[in-house]
């Protein structure tokens, strides 16, 4: 798998970070749609992830995106019923998707227990949906997503890939995760091979409590101990941080700082 070296961009605080990531997403989607007529994005839950979606909703530039021609996927989901405030889907709908003209057929949710599926069946159903969406030029079982947004926990988890859990060894595209150290315990997650199939992977993190995880994610650590170290895209990897989260990055790693 071709993966790229991360490029680091640091913003003043979490608020500016969310605004800047929102602007980047809008620009990227507009550019991809101008070139191909369609685009795809993978959403994340978490604080910066949802704040970013709210910033897109509040931006006048959001109307530059052709929302009807956008496929929306999730990197992970908490396995709780539809509408539960814990679901990443619920946060994304409230922050953005309820405010723009998306095509419901192109909003690809990971199903919860109210669907009657077990977590394993829900993961398999998502894998099948990804396989159906993959085109010959994707050369694999999942689409080469245009942008994958990933939040990161203080333990360096991304999506629902937590350090040391079996999901990190899994070569399927989507898995059920049990025993998550962060509640709720049961989740559905894309795996590392699926994350690394994305054209662009953008890791977003804010706050001092993420600083050690950011440092490790940018080191040569293995992804089983430091899942975020495996968050790399085929064409580009961005670590989009606030100053606090960037506080422990070694000085030899280049970074771009905004005022």
d(CA 92, CA 130): 20
Q: What is the CA radius of gyration of the chain?
A: 17
What is each CA distance from 233 to 39, 83, 165, 236, in whole angstroms? 16, 31, 22, 5
Q: Which residue of 56, 67, 70, 76 would you call a contact of ligand LXAUTJHC, by CB under 6 A?
A: 76
Instruction: Verify binding: residue 47, ligand LXAUTJHC, rule CB under 6 A.
Output: yes
Q: Which residue of 44, 122, 194, 237 would you call a contact of ligand LXAUTJHC, by CB under 6 A?
A: 44
Q: Which residue of 151, 223, 227, 230 would you call a contact of ligand LXAUTJHC, by CB under 6 A?
A: 151
Number of other residues whose CB lies within 10 A of the CB of residue 106: 16
Q: Which residue of 18, 20, 32, 45 would you call a contact of ligand LXAUTJHC, by CB under 6 A?
A: 45
How many residues belong to the chain?
259
Q: Cα dihedral angle (12, 15, 16, 21), rounded to 10 degrees?
A: 120
Instruction: Verify binding: residue 91, ligand LXAUTJHC, rule CB under 6 A.
Output: no
Closer CB to ligand LXAUTJHC, 75 or 223, in the complex = 75
d(CA 75, CA 8): 21
Closer CB to ligand LXAUTJHC, 51 or 197, in the complex = 51
Q: Which residue of 14, 48, 165, 198 would you call a contact of ligand LXAUTJHC, by CB under 6 A?
A: 48
Closest CA to 228 of 198, 201, 188: 201
Stretch of 63-71, 118-126, 153-161, 166-174 lying at the interface with ligand LXAUTJHC (CB under 6 A): 153-161
d(CA 238, CA 169): 24
All residues at 6 or more sequence positions from 51 whose CB lies less than 8 Å from its CB, including other chains:
14, 15, 18, 95
Closer CB to ligand LXAUTJHC, 33 or 50, in the complex = 50
Strand intervals (E) in 158-246: 174-177, 187-190, 200-205, 236-242
Stretch of 2-10, 32-40, 74-82, 105-113 lying at the interface with ligand LXAUTJHC (CB under 6 A): 74-82
In whole angstroms, the minimum distance from the beta carbon of 238 to ligand LXAUTJHC comes to 15
Instruction: Verify binding: residue 163, ligand LXAUTJHC, rule CB under 6 A.
Output: no
Binding site for ligand LXAUTJHC (CB under 6 A): 44-49, 75-76, 78, 88, 151, 153, 159-160, 182
């Amino acid at each position: 798998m071709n993966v790229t070296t991360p490029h680091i961009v640091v913003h003043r605080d979490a608020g500016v970070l969310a605004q800047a990531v929102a602007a980047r997403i809008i620009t990227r989607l507009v550019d991809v749609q101008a070139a191909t007529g369609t685009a795809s994005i993978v959403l994340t839950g978490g604080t910066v992830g949802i704040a970013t979606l709210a910033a897109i909703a509040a931006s006048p530039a959001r109307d530059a995106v052709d929302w009807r021609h956008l496929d929306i996927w999730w990197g992970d989901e908490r396995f709780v019923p539809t509408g539960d405030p814990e679901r990443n889907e619920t946060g994304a709908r409230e922050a953005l998707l309820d405010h723009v003209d998306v095509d419901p057929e192109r909003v690809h949710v990971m199903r919860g227990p109210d669907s009657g599926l077990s977590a394993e069946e829900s993961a398999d159903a998502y894998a099948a949906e990804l396989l159906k969406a993959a085109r010959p030029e994707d050369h694999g079982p999942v689409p080469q997503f245009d942008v994958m947004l990933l939040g990161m926990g203080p333990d360096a988890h991304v999506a629902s890939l937590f350090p040391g859990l079996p999901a990190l060894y899994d070569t399927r595209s989507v898995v059920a995760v049990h025993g998550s150290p962060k509640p709720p315990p049961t989740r559905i997650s894309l795996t590392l091979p699926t994350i690394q199939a994305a054209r662009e992977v953008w890791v977003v993190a804010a706050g001092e409590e993420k600083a050690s995880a950011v440092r490790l994610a940018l080191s040569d650590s293995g992804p089983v101990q430091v899942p975020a170290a495996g968050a790399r895209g085929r064409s580009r990897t961005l670590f989009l941080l606030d100053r606090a989260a960037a506080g422990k990055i070694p000085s030899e790693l280049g970074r771009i700082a905004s005022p």
